[in-house]
Amino acid sequence: MKFTNRFAPSPTGPLHLGHAYSALLAHDLAQAAGGSFLLRIEDIDQSRARPEWEAQIYQDLDWLGIGWARPVMRQSDRMESYRAALDDLWARGLLYACTCNRRDIAAATSAPQEGAAPIIGPDGIIYPGTCRAAGHPRETGALRLDMAKALETLSSTPLTFLENGQGPNGETGQQTISPDQLITTVGDVVLARRDMGTSYHLSVVLDDAAQKVTLVPRGADLFEATQIHVVLQALLGLPKPCYHHHRLIRDEAGKRLAKRDDARAIALYRESGTTPQEIRDMVGL
């Protein structure tokens, strides 16, 4: 299969040095392999996505010397595909509607007599299962994956993925995900937020498959989320790409950069006369 990778930013703020590193690394990998580099605009959060930020993504990447295949996939155009996958999982009894808010979940997981802190997974506190058997109608809440039930429907072969880069603790090579680990440290994740009709996890998995992505390069902060993606690929019968998690670019204080770190926005470097080569040097490429 043809080597294909991608950069998948959300147009919710300026790209900063961390994004530049991710995009340049992906682009370099695709060039070295003689493959394709794709761009995907992850704009499912319509309350935060802005056309100006999307326009700036194109300008920044162009200035960095990155060319991408057209047309660009935009998640906001893909809602029907997300809906179809949810219909399928719902019909198989693997989803349930959850009407809890953050406060309900925090209250259900606090155990003052034991004083133990709740386990935090890739999406926050592990969901205590309050609504699992409640039978709420589909449209009344967020849709959660019944993780234990979903794993039972998968064949007994262990879930695995190939890590070409490195996880936050140096994980590399073949990774095996145990069902117990998924149930206790990931749990019943939300696959469709009520206000969005989808979630990062569901969309990213369906889109990487639709774009025939063979390698997913992204920050090591998403390493834990990859196990959710591997479960979804198995449930939905999708091909499984390889992963290349990479180090995060940090500020002088060692804090990872966030969208609000405007001082490190690529656009500001660009306007102040920094060259693309200097950006490469700054991120260690």
Binding site for ligand GLU (CB under 6 A): 8-10, 42, 204, 218, 222
Cβ neighbours around 173 below 10 Å, total: 8
| Contact indicator for 94, 191 with CB cutoff of 8 Å | no
Shortest distance (Å) from residue 8 CB to ligand GLU:
4
Nearer residue to ligand GLU within complex by CB, 93 or 239: 239
3-state secondary structure of 163: strand
Shortest distance (Å) from residue 218 CB to ligand GLU:
4
198 binds, among ligand GLU, Zn ion, none (CB under 5 to 8 A by kind): none
Taking CB under 5 A as the rule, does residue 100 contact Zn ion? yes
Chain centroid offset of residue 108 CA: 27
Shortest distance (Å) from residue 156 CB to ligand GLU:
28
Residue 263 exposed, middle or buried by CB count within 10 Å (0-12, 13-18, 19+): exposed
Taking CB under 5 A as the rule, does residue 109 contact Zn ion? no
Residues with Cβ within 8 Å of residue 175, at least 6 apart in sequence: 160, 161, 162, 163, 167, 226
Q: For residue 245, which of 193, 171, 180 has the smallest C-alpha distance?
A: 171
245 binds, among ligand GLU, Zn ion, none (CB under 5 to 8 A by kind): none
Nearer residue to ligand GLU within complex by CB, 48 or 92: 48
Shortest distance (Å) from residue 6 CB to ligand GLU:
8
131 binds, among Zn ion, ligand GLU, none (CB under 5 to 8 A by kind): Zn ion
Shortest distance (Å) from residue 142 CB to Zn ion:
8
Nearer residue to ligand GLU within complex by CB, 5 or 98: 5
146 binds, among ligand GLU, Zn ion, none (CB under 5 to 8 A by kind): none
Residue 41 exposed, middle or buried by CB count within 10 Å (0-12, 13-18, 19+): buried
64 binds, among ligand GLU, Zn ion, none (CB under 5 to 8 A by kind): none
Q: How far apart are CA 269 and CA 264, in angstroms?
A: 7
Nearer residue to Zn ion within complex by CB, 194 or 259: 194
Q: For residue 266, which of 21, 60, 22 has the smallest C-alpha distance?
A: 60
- Which residue bears the tokens 């259900």? 108
Nearer residue to ligand GLU within complex by CB, 104 or 171: 171
Among 15, 131, 206, 213, binds Zn ion (CB under 5 A): 131
